[in-house]
Structure 1
């Protein structure tokens, strides 16, 4: 299993702060499964979001996510 943590607009769209999901998938497949689970609002956020895997920016969205990792979903932030 792995943990997904949602921040800001991603949390609002998912309706939860975090959840545990099966490991052994890549980030692209995880995002698709999360969008299916939580609906089109989260799908839109995930399309623009950045992802951290154990606190490190993930640039290889096809790398398999190992059991025990934490994936942070960071939507685009506005501000100045």
Structure 2
């Protein structure tokens, strides 16, 4: 397991009640499951499910979360949908 940081932006930050969490994980899937356990509120769950995820500044897109390895110092960013253009 590696220590990583999840940063929450905009409504994800509001729903989590914090700007970031530091946790141990070995895959992106494990990290997001840990975040869900830390913030079991329905609003957080909805925002997380609708958000774009970046790992070390790279978009995850449709790649399988269980196949993306998390290493020591990895930064995961949760970017909720936003309006505008």
Counterparts of 1:68 and 1:23, CA distance in 2: 11
Counterparts of 1:6 and 1:23, CA distance in 2: 17
TM-score by length of 2: 0.82
Unaligned runs of 5+ residues in structure 1 are none
> 55-64 or 7-16, which moves further after superposition?
55-64
Question: After the TM superposition, which residues 1-80 of structure 1 pair with which residues of structure 2 at under 5 Å, given as runs?
Answer: 1-24=3-26, 26-39=27-40, 40-58=42-60, 59-62=63-66, 63-80=68-85
Counterparts of 1:23 and 1:67, CA distance in 2: 9
Corresponding residue SS for 2:7: strand
Q: How many residues align?
A: 79
Unaligned runs of 5+ residues in structure 2 are none
Indicate conservation of the 8 Å contact 1:23/1:67, yes or no.
no
Residue by residue, what CA displacement relative to the aligned partner does 1:37-72 show, whole Å, maximum 9, x if unpaired? 112221111111111111001133122211211000
Indicate conservation of the 8 Å contact 2:7/2:78, yes or no.
yes
